[in-house]
Amino acid sequence: MFISDSLGVNESGHLTFGNHDTVELAGKYKTPVYIMDEVLIRKNCRNFVTSMNENYGGNGRVIYASKAFSCKAMYKIINEENMGIDVVSGGEIYTALKAGFPMEKAYFHGSNKSYDELVFAVNSGVGRIMVDNLYELELLKQISEELDTVVNVIVRVKPGIEAETHSFIMTGQTDSKFGLDLDTGDAMKAIKTALDAEKISFKGIHCHIGSQIFAVESFMHAAKVMVGIMKDIKDETGYEVEELDIGGGFGIRYAEEHKPAPFNEYMKKVSVVIKEECEKAGLKTPFVIIEPGRSIVAEAGITLYTVGAIKTIPDVRTYVSVDGGMCDNPRYILYQSKYTAIIANKANEKADFLATIAGKCCESGDMIQEHTYIQKPESGDIMAVLSTGAYNYSMSSNYNRNPRPAVVMLNGDEERIVVKAETYEDLIRNDM
């Protein structure tokens, strides 16, 4: 049942997270509430950074894909752990700036960055702009001249790889809205344009093949394709790529059947491919960048709810309703994501009750999980949903005018609110 190191059961039979009693946390902070374990977040960061140093001799950087979970406290943790960040909007750049993040270690992604966002990024000293398309490159040429500033870019290419994951989170294939295509010649055209532009400094290439990927072979394949592109660039332009960004997408445990390879195995195997392929191609090993998001925060977060209405439809199913749903976790309605739920106040009881966990929003598809085994539920129980640290708070909405829950960060014996719960007053703040 325990898919993350932060989970346990105490003598009261209550689920613990980061050694805190989750039933007590629910009472203290009210539900729904997101709880995160800073100890595990930092441990995950250190695993990546250590592995990066071991496998690339320090010639690389781990950047946290902050769309997974973004708030000021998180950018501070990432900075303290000596990592960079991947940001995808003016809003994420703004949040990182307000957290005092050193923006030269920020990498700006996105498939349709606006003129204003690009100007904001350049003026904020963002280290690299990840060029997604030719239109954006034209905007950047114009902006670099208007602001009389050299803009460092990395060009995002589609390596033409279909990773084994849900089609909505698969991004490396030709039919994708992300990045520049190799076959059409767009990718090489962008690279040549970047090399020729006076105030644009072309630094390297990027790919990201998708998310929640378990097969190390997919990453190895992508690495090989990318070094091949580096060789083509050198052959065609004489320029040797300095930086190779191989993206993120490492799978995590949402349920027991998920078995991700240890970070170090992935890092080792991929680094061997990069080094060997570079040697074969007569290229020097580039500065390597990786972009984990989910694997830094997902297992380090849980959501606590209170069970409300329970409806049994004979011979069909039992709906167990919680006081949140797609407004705080839209991943099931988006892509039927797998989640594990536990009745926190009955954590040492057998999970033999087949339930569909329903949210409170006015959508039939608003579920947390269908047909999943939990302990026998009663109204008033506290339900914990595991591995919600990534793409939950960051994807939350005010649908049905539900205020967003607080985010509470645990750190050993300490606990602190890093994002306050929204109030009804917050909901009408911008209403005229």
Ligand X SMILES: *Cc1c(COP(=O)(O)O)cnc(C)c1O
| φ, ψ dihedrals at 119, nearest 5° | -65, -45
Q: At a CB cut-off of 8 Å and minimum separation 6, what does 251 contact?
A: 212, 213, 214, 258, 260, 294, 295
Could you say whether residue 86 binds ligand X (CB under 6 A)?
yes
Max Cα distance, the chain (Å): 71
Minimum CB–partner distance for residue 295 and ligand X (Å): 6
The yes or no reply on residue 113 touching ligand X (CB under 6 A) is no
User: Can residue 405 be called a binding residue for ligand X (CB under 6 A)?
Assistant: no
Q: Find the shortest distance in angstroms from Cβ 350 to ligand X.
A: 33
Query: Which residue lies nearer to ligand X by CB, 162 or 363?
Result: 162
Nearer to ligand X, 85 or 382 (CB): 85
Between residues 65 and 351, which has the closer beta carbon with respect to ligand X?
65
Residues within window 227-266 making contact with ligand X, judged by CB under 6 A: 247-250
Q: Which residues are catalytic?
A: 362
- Of the candidates 328, 419, 423, 408, which has an alpha carbon nearest to the alpha carbon of residue 71? 419
Please give the helix or strand (H or E) that residue 307 lies within, else none: strand 301-313
Q: Which string of x and - marks every residue 155-194 that binds ligand X (by CB under 6 A)? A: ----------------------------------------
By CB under 6 A, residue 109 contacts ligand X: yes
97's enclosing H/E stretch is: helix 90-98
Strand partners, 17: 7, 20
Amino acid at 174: T
The residue (of 289 and 322) whose beta carbon lies closer to ligand X is 289
Residue with tokens 């349709």: 112
Rg of the chain (C-alpha set):
23
Residue reference for tokens 């509430």 = 33
Taking the complex as a whole, how short is the minimal distance between the CB of residue 338 and ligand X, in angstroms? 15
The smaller minimum CB distance to ligand X, of residues 271 and 356, is found at 271
Of 40, 45, 52, 65, the residue at the interface with ligand X (CB under 6 A) is 65
Strands 15-17 and 7-9: antiparallel
Cβ neighbours around 108 below 10 Å, total: 28
Residues 83, 61: contact at Cβ < 8 Å? yes
Q: Per CB under 6 A, does 292 bind ligand X? A: yes
CB of 223 to ligand X, least distance (A): 15
Separation CA 324–CA 307 (nearest Å): 10
Residue list 339-368, contact with ligand X (CB under 6 A): none
Is residue 331 a contact residue for ligand X (CB under 6 A)?
Answer: no
Residues 122-161 binding ligand X (CB under 6 A) are none
Chain centre to alpha carbon of residue 264: 19
Among 26, 68, 126, 333, binds ligand X (CB under 6 A): 68
The gap from C-alpha 159 to its chain's centroid, in whole angstroms, comes to 21
Binders in 206-225 for ligand X, by CB under 6 A: 208, 211
Residue nearest to ligand X (CB): 293
| Binding flag, residue 293, ligand X (CB under 6 A) | yes
Q: What residue ranges bind ligand X (CB under 6 A)?
A: 65, 67-68, 86, 109, 208, 211, 247-250, 291-295, 390
